[in-house]
Structure 1
């Protein structure tokens, strides 16, 4: 399988891992905890969209969403029942970053 162009342009890969206590990662992790969700930070691959703003010095997160199975397969599917909780986490994180917790 051919590597994506973004990977070919950066031999050896270019991945960025945010500190869990830095923003915006901390806001997202805190908001998830407030919703009763146990999530963990992890490193995404070099073609992850979060690397685009990170390459410009803008910390970003990518990948928190609904649970899924069969990623990139013919039978890929997502658990839509997770949407309200995921929305609440993202909303809480944004409000926290804006200083408008609530």
Structure 2
């Protein structure tokens, strides 16, 4: 199985387009954003990549951005051992009752 070439192409273009602030011109800048990641996730570019994404959102005009990184977690933070904390943070962000 695995990824098809077209999936890699789509993923590349998605990542590339994320850095262009013009892509966000028709998005409500008042919307809160929760940016979550595993601290050891190589697909986010670690701290450097995560900061770049958040800086792009700020440059596009978003002001209400909450960033959480989870120590000792990789890419699948919803399936990691400490996932309960991740779910609690998501529910809190959405103002929903905790688990």
Give the TM-score, by structure 1 length. 0.31
Would you tell me which structure has more strand in proportion to its own residues?
Answer: 2
Please give the TM-score of this superposition, normalised by the length of structure 2: 0.32
